[in-house]
Amino acid sequence: MTVLGDIVGTPHVRDGGSGDAVDGITPRWVAMPASNEECAELLRLADRDGLAVVPRGGGTKLGWGNRPRQVDVIVDTSRLNRVLAHEAGDLVVIAQAGTPLATVQDTVAGAGQMLGIDSLWSGATLGGIIAANASGPRRVRFGTMKDLLIGITVVLPGGTIAHSGGKVVKNVAGYDLGKLFTGSLGTLGLITETIFRLHARPPTRRAVQAHLASPSALGLALQDVLRSHLTPTALEVRWDRSSGRLICLFESIEPSVAAQSDRAASILSRFGPVDVVDDISDLERPPWARGQTGLKIMTVPARLPDVIETVLGAAGEHGIDCRIGGHAGVAVLLVALDGGPEAVASTITTLRSRLEQEFVVVLEAPAPVKERVDVWGNAPGGALMRRIKEQFDPGGIMSPGRFVGGI
Amino acid sequence: MEDRERVVARMQEAVGPTAVITDREELRTYECDGLTGYRAVPSLAVLPETAEEVQAVVRICRDEGIPFVARGSGTGLSGGALPVEEGVLVVLARMRRILEVDIPNQRVVVEPGVVNAWVTEAVAPHGYYYAPDPSSQIVCSIGGNVAENSGGAHCLKYGFTTNHVTGLEVVFADGEMVQLGGKTAETPGYDLVGVLVGSEGTLGIVTKITLRIIRRPETVRTLLAAFPSTDEAGGAVSGIIAAGILPAAVEMMDALSRQAAEAAVHPGYPDAGGLLIVELDGPAVEVEHQFQSVQEICRENGAGEIRIAENDDERALIWRGRKAAFAAMGRISPDYFVQDGVIPRTALPQVLHKISAMGSERNLRVANVFHAGDGNLHPLVLYDGTVSGEAERAEELAGDILLVCLEHGGSITGEHGVGFDKKKYMPAMFTADDLDTMQLLRCAFDPRHLCNPGKVFPTPRLCGERPGPYREHPLQQAGIAEIF
CA distance B454 to B420: 7
End-to-end CA, chain B: 17
Residues in chain A with pLDDT < 50? none
| Interchain CB contacts (distance < 8 Å): A and B | 267
Q: Are B248 and B319 in contact (CB under 8 A)?
A: no
Does the interface ipTM go beyond 0.90?
yes
- CATH code of the domain in which B405 resides: 3.30.70.2740
Inter-chain residue contact A227 with B127, CB threshold 8 Å: yes
- B222, B211: one domain: no
pLDDT score at B483: 37
What is the Cα–Cα distance from A332 to A329, expressed in whole angstroms? 8
B306 and B357 within one domain: no
Q: Is residue B302 part of a domain?
A: yes
- Residue of chain A whose Cα is closest to the Cα of B343: A168
Same domain, B26 and B49: yes
* Domain shared by B274 and B243, yes or no: yes
State the Cα–Cα distance between residues A221 and A234, nearest whole angstrom.
15
CA distance A170 to B235: 20
CATH code of the domain in which B204 resides: 3.30.465.10
| Amino acid B465: pLDDT | 64
A230 to chain B: closest CA residue: B283
CB contact under 8 A, A172 and B416: yes
pLDDT at B412 over 70: yes
Of B91, B111, B142, the residue at which a domain comes to its end is B91
- In the prediction, which pLDDT does B474 show? 45
A90 three-state secondary structure: helix
Would you call B414 and A171 a contact, using CB atoms and an 8 Å cutoff?
yes
Q: How far is A209 from chain B (nearest CA, A)?
A: 20
Whether B263 and B313 have beta carbons less than 8 Å apart is answered as no
- For an interface test with A, the pick among B103, B168, B190, B462 (most A C-beta atoms closer than 10 Å) comes out as B190
Strands B88-91 and B68-71: parallel
Q: Confirm whether B203 is domain-assigned.
A: yes
Chain A hits for B442, Cβ within 8 Å = 175
Shared-domain flag, residues B102 and B165? yes
A380 vs B contacts (CB less than 8 Å): 178-182, 187, 189
- Interface test with chain B among A167, A175, A362, by most B beta carbons within 10 Å: A175
Q: What is the structure's pLDDT at B2?
A: 73
Structural domains in chain B (count): 5
pLDDT at residue B472 is higher than 70: no
- Give pLDDT, residue A1: 76
Q: What is the pLDDT of residues B309-366, one digit of tens each?
A: 999 999 999 999 998 888 889 899 999 999 999 999 999 999 999 999 999 999 999 9
In angstroms, the CA B449 to CA B437 distance is: 16
Task: Tell me which residue of B277, B249, B262 sits closest to B329, measured CA to CA.
Answer: B262
Which amino acid, residue A56?
A: R
Residue B465 β-bridge partners: B463
What is the Cα–Cα distance from B137 to B151, expressed in whole angstroms? 10
Cα of A383 to nearest chain B Cα, Å: 10
CB contact under 8 A, B184 and A331: yes
Question: Which residues in chain A have their CB less than 8 angstroms from residue B468's CB?
Answer: 158, 160
* B112 shares its domain with B61: no
Q: Which residues of B touch A377 (CB under 8 A)?
A: 188
Instruction: Give A92's contacts in chain B (Cβ within 8 Å).
Output: 344
> CA B112 to CA B115: how far, in whole Å?
8
Last residue of a domain, one of B166, B197, B215: B215
**What is the span of the domain harbouring residue B59?**
4-91
| pLDDT tens column, B21-74 | 999 999 999 999 999 889 999 999 999 999 999 999 999 999 999 999 999 999
Whether residue B321 is found in the same domain as residue B337: no
CA distance A328 to A344: 24
Look at A376 and B431 and tell me if their CB atoms are within 8 Å.
no
* Rg for chain B, CA atoms, rounded: 23
- Quick check: is B480 in a domain? no
Residue B394 CA to chain centroid, in angstroms?
22
Q: Is residue B224 part of a domain?
A: yes
Find, among B209, B173, B145, the residue nearest to B55 by Cα.
B173
Confidence band, pLDDT 50/70/90 cuts, at residue B479: very low
Task: Give pLDDT tens digits for B88-112.
Answer: 999 999 999 999 999 999 999 999 9
Judge whether residue B471 has pLDDT over 50.
no
Q: What is the pLDDT of residue B115?
A: 98
Residue of A140, A170, A355 to mutate when probing chain B, most B C-beta within 10 A: A170
Quote the pLDDT of residue A378.
86
Nearest CA in chain B to A172: B414
CB–CB contact A112 B180 (8 Å): no
Contact B155 A171 (CB under 8 A): no
Contact state of A302 with B105 under an 8 Å Cβ cutoff: yes
Query: Which residues from chain A sit within 8 angstroms of residue B290, using beta carbons?
Result: 253
Residue range A214-265, pLDDT digits in tens: 999 999 999 999 999 999 999 999 999 889 999 999 999 999 999 999 999 9
In chain B, the residue whose alpha carbon lies closest to the alpha carbon of A299 is: B184
- Asked if residue B466 has pLDDT above 70, the reply is no
Looking at the fold, whether B245 and B178 belong to one and the same domain comes out as: no
B355 inside domain:
yes
CA-CA distance, B414 to A341, in Å (whole number)? 51
CA distance A30 to chain B (A): 27
The reply to whether residue B191 touches residue A179, judged by beta carbons under 8 angstroms, is yes
- Amino acid B153: pLDDT: 87
Of B56, B73, B91, at which residue does a domain stop?
B91
pLDDT of residue B459: 79
- Does one domain contain both B193 and B123? yes
Q: Do A384 and B411 touch (CB under 8 A)?
A: no
Indicate whether B381 belongs to any domain: yes
Q: Say if B193 falls within a structural domain.
A: yes
- Kindly state whether residues B349 and B316 are assigned to the same domain: no
Count of CA atoms in the C-beta half-sphere (13 A) of B193: 30
B120, B210: one domain? yes
Are B74 and B14 contained in the same domain? yes
Cα torsion B462, B465, B466, B470 to 10°: value is -80
Is B476 inside a domain boundary? Answer: no
pLDDT digits (tens, 9 = 90+) for B111-141: 999 999 999 999 999 999 999 999 899 999 9
Give B185's contacts in chain A (Cβ within 8 Å): 139, 298, 330-332
Mean pLDDT of B170-196: 97
